[in-house]
Structure 1
Amino acid sequence: MFVIHKKHIIFVSLLLAVLLCGCVLLTALSTSAVSTNGMTIVLDAGHGGIDGGVTGVNSKVKESEINLSIVRLLETQLAGAGFKVVLTRKSEGGLYAPTDKNKKKSDMKKRKEIIEAAEPVAVVSVHQNKFPLSSRKGGQVFFRNDSAQGKALAASIQEEFNALSGGGLSALKGDYYILNCTDYPSVIAECGFLSNPEEDALLNTQEYQKKVAYALYKGIVAFIAHNVAG
Structure 2
Amino acid sequence: MKRYLGILSELLIIISLITGVVYKKDKLDKVNMELKTILIDPGHGGRDNGASYSNILEDEINLSIGSKLYEKCITNNYIGYITRTSDYDLSKYDSLNHKNDDLKKRAEYINTLDIDLFVSIHLNVYPSEDVHGPMVYYKKGSEESYNLALSVQDELNRLTNNKKRVTIGEYYLFKYTTVPGILVECGFLSNEKERNLLVLEDYQNLISNAIFQGIKNNEKLNEKK
Q: One-letter code of the match for 2:46?
A: G
Give ranges in structure 1 of 5+ residues lacking alignment.
1-34
CA deviations over 1:73-130 (Å, ceiling 9, x no partner) = 1111111110011011221111012122221122111101221122221110000011
**Secondary structure in 2 matching 1:65:** helix
The answer as to 2:184 corresponding to 1:189 is yes
Alignment partner for residue 126 of structure 1, among 116, 121, 128? 121
Q: Which moved more, 1:104-113 or 1:209-218?
A: 104-113
Matched positions, count: 194
**Alpha-carbon distance in structure 2 between the residues aligned to 1:95 and 1:49:** 8
Q: One-letter code of the match for 2:39?
A: V
Alignment partner for residue 81 of structure 1, among 59, 63, 76? 76
The match for 2:26 is none
The match for 1:206 is 201
- Give me the identity figure in percent: 34
Structure 1: 4+ residue segments shifted above 4 A: none
The answer as to 2:147 corresponding to 1:145 is no
Alignment partner for residue 165 of structure 1, among 133, 146, 160? 160
**Alpha-carbon distance in structure 2 between the residues aligned to 1:180 and 1:229:** 30
Larger Rg belongs to: 1
* RMSD of Structure 2 on Structure 1 (CA): 1.7
TM-score normalised by length of structure 2:
0.82
Q: One-letter code of the match for 1:156?
A: S
TM-score normalised by length of structure 1:
0.80
Give ranges in structure 2 of 5+ residues lacking alignment.
1-31
**Secondary structure in 2 matching 1:68:** helix
Alignment partner for residue 48 of structure 1, among 37, 45, 50? 45
